[in-house]
Amino acid sequence: MAARKSVIVGMNGQPLMMANSAYDGASHGRRMGGVYAPGSGINTNLNYALTTLRNRSRAGHRNMPLLRSGIEKKVTNEIGIGITPRSKCENVDLRKTINALWDESCFQFDPEGNLDVYGMQAQISRARRISGECFIRARYRSSSADLLVPIQFQVLEADFVPLDFNDTLSNGNRIIAGIEFNRRGQRVAYHMYREHPGEMYNYQASLANLVRVPASEVAHHFNPLHPGQIRGEPDSAASLVKAQTFDSYDDAELVRKQTRAPFTGAIYRDALDANDADNWAFDPISGDPLGGESGFGNAKAEPGTIFELLDGEKIEMFKGDDTGQGYADFMRWQSLMQAAGMDMPYELLTGDWEKVNDRLVRAVLNEFRRRIQMDQWHLMIPQVMRWMRWHWLNRAVLAGRLNLPGYATKMRDYHQHTWCPHGWPYINPNIDVEAKINAIDADLVAHEDVVAENGDDLTDIQARNKVARDNRGERTPKQRQKDKDNE
């Protein structure tokens, strides 16, 4: 295949040289010459467009069914009923005490009192997917507050940190898009509005009235897709144009059908003969005179009516619901493009499972769940939940809600914990459970890890099962197997 030739043009518009490109994508011919591909840094490109992207993404979530479906199903699969922490410190009794206090106090984390920590997880995930990011601020409360642990966590929309606030401070720190960095490039503070700048009741949204919050008290939840990226990109950024055009087209098609539905057909008449002009002045069904200067009106008929037409008349019935050849295939392909733009399976986005069997369903869901696990373990758990639990445990000890001996020297041990995301339901329960049992028996996986995949804690399950068996006077499965072997 011949190499593509490109022309490099000087400032005066004259060609400087002819260059061959080994890559078609780097050619400057008619096909690729009009492609806009700036070489700007990610923050220059994103921060300039982020306000518009964010607002359009929010509008799409409010008004576009497929876009809303995609975001909500991602949130549902990422969070479920919650990602639960379980202490793993050496002392088993202290482990149980820490877990019990978390389970009781997590209902008090929301300053507004609307959600527990697991509902907040869903809210945080949704905000990241719609707006590209959100901020969580630790709010320390007085020990006299009516809280089990005197700390709460305030979830803030991305708008609280202004994109257009940039400055260089006298100490050498730089503020970029509302985030303050030291000379080493580390985040040291976030500059925030006191109230949401877009609310109608807000009177304090001014760049001259920002609050500087230390970075240690703020969790910035976003997906840094590129090295050096400092603000988040909405999940729907790549599919917004497709979603808007598709939604407008579908709505126009619906309106077209709606407006044509009242019209059944038309009676066509040949050119009028002056001698027969009186015959055309009456309704062919009722015989009533037709109104209007044109002499034409509407022929209304009851079901089962047979038309008796005059000479020169003919009826043509409308096809009001005819959407044309290939309409369904066209709509499916556009939905596939939207699904690709939102990085999720078409079947899950649309609910259309017609063309997949049980094996394909497993393959589709396994790929999607792997993607969701990335979001859980790369974003939600390290950026938000570990940070939240660190602040909570420190505050619980300082306020005397937990008595952890030698906490200052054994912090690493006391902060050991694992996270249990809400497990997905089995696709085929009998086969799936049997496969996990075989994997445990063959030492391919740990029993504890298999249970944790379903969002549960092995120690807790075993303790509750033992109590239930003791109450019923039953022996464990292993004991029963041993009895059988001894026989």
Does 189 reside within a domain? no
Tell me which of 77 and 486 has the higher pLDDT. Answer: 77
CB environment 19-48: b (16+ within 10 A), e (fewer): eeeeeeeebbeeeeeeeeeeeeebbeebbe
Read out DSSP for 277-321? GGGGGB-TTT-PBPPSTT--------TT----PPTTEEEEE--TT
Contacts of 315 (CB under 8 A, 6+ apart): 265, 266, 267, 268, 307, 309
The rounded distance, in Å, linking the Cα atoms of 40 and 246 is 30
Rounded CA-CA distance 132/51 in Å is 10
**Is residue 413 domain-resident?**
no
Question: Could you give the C-alpha distances from 395 to 99, 100, 348, in angstroms and in order?
Answer: 15, 16, 42
This prediction's pTM: 0.83
Whole-angstrom distance, CA of residue 231 vs CA of residue 455 = 31
386-390, 417-421, 461-465: range with lowest mean pLDDT: 461-465
Q: 């807000």: which residue's tokens?
A: 202
* Longest alpha-carbon distance in the chain: 114
Query: Of 284, 317, 350, which residue constitutes the final position of a domain?
Result: 317
190: which residues sit within 8 A by CB, 6+ positions away? Answer: 135, 161, 178, 179, 180, 212, 213, 215, 218, 220
Query: What is the pairing mode between strands 187-192 and 179-181?
Result: antiparallel
* Band of residue 320 on the pLDDT scale cut at 50, 70, 90: low
CA-nearest of 73, 212, 203 to 137 is 212
User: How sure is the predictor about 457, in pLDDT bands with cuts at 50, 70 and 90?
Assistant: confident
CA distance 284 to 25: 67
Residue 300 lies in a domain: yes
Does the pLDDT value for residue 87 go beyond 80?
Answer: yes
In a domain, 15, yes or no: yes
The 10s digit of each residue's pLDDT in 122-167 is 999 999 999 999 999 999 999 889 999 999 999 999 999 999 999 9
**Predicted pLDDT of residue 295:** 47
Nearest to 373 by CA among 79, 135, 42, 86: 79
Residue 298 lies in a domain: yes
Tokens of 239: 């599919």
User: Among 202-211, 301-310, 450-459, which is the least confidently predicted range?
Assistant: 301-310
Residue 454: phi and psi, rounded to 5, are -95, 10
Decide the pairing of beta strands 84-87 and 417-420.
Answer: antiparallel
Confidence grade of residue 173 (pLDDT, cut at 50, 70, 90): very high
- Per the structure block, which two tokens stand in for 246? 């598709």
Query: For residue 306, what are the contacts with CB-CB under 8 A and spacing of at least 6?
Result: none
For residue 37, is pLDDT > 70? yes
Flag whether 296 is in a domain.
Answer: yes
The token duo for 468 is 């239930």
Q: How many domains does the chain have?
A: 2
DSSP string covering 208-267: GG-EEEEGGGEEEEE---STT--SPPPTTGGGHHHHHHHHHHHHHHHHHHHHHTT--EEE
Q: Read off the pLDDT of each residue in 426-432 and give the average, rounded to a whole number.
A: 83
Q: Is residue 284 in a domain?
A: yes
- The answer to whether 395 touches 151, Cβ cutoff 8 Å, is yes
Q: How far is CA 346 from CA 153, 238, 294, in A?
A: 36, 16, 53
Phi, psi for 412 (deg, rounded to 5): -60, -40
Which residue range is the domain that position 293 belongs to?
Answer: 264-317
Angle subtended at Cα 66 by Cα 62 and Cα 67, rounded to the nearest 5 degrees: 55
Which long-range CB contacts under 8 A does 432-436 form with residues at least 24 apart? none
Residue 414 has what pLDDT? 96
CB 350 within 8 A of CB 66: yes
Query: Which pLDDT band holds residue 1 (cuts at 50, 70, 90)?
Result: very low
How far is the C-alpha of 61 from the C-alpha of 253, rounded, in Å?
Answer: 21
Residue with tokens 């799936």: 432
Residue 117 clears pLDDT 80, i.e. is over it: yes
pLDDT in tens, 256-315: 778 777 777 777 776 655 555 565 566 655 666 665 544 445 666 676 676 777 677 787
Residue 112 within a domain: no
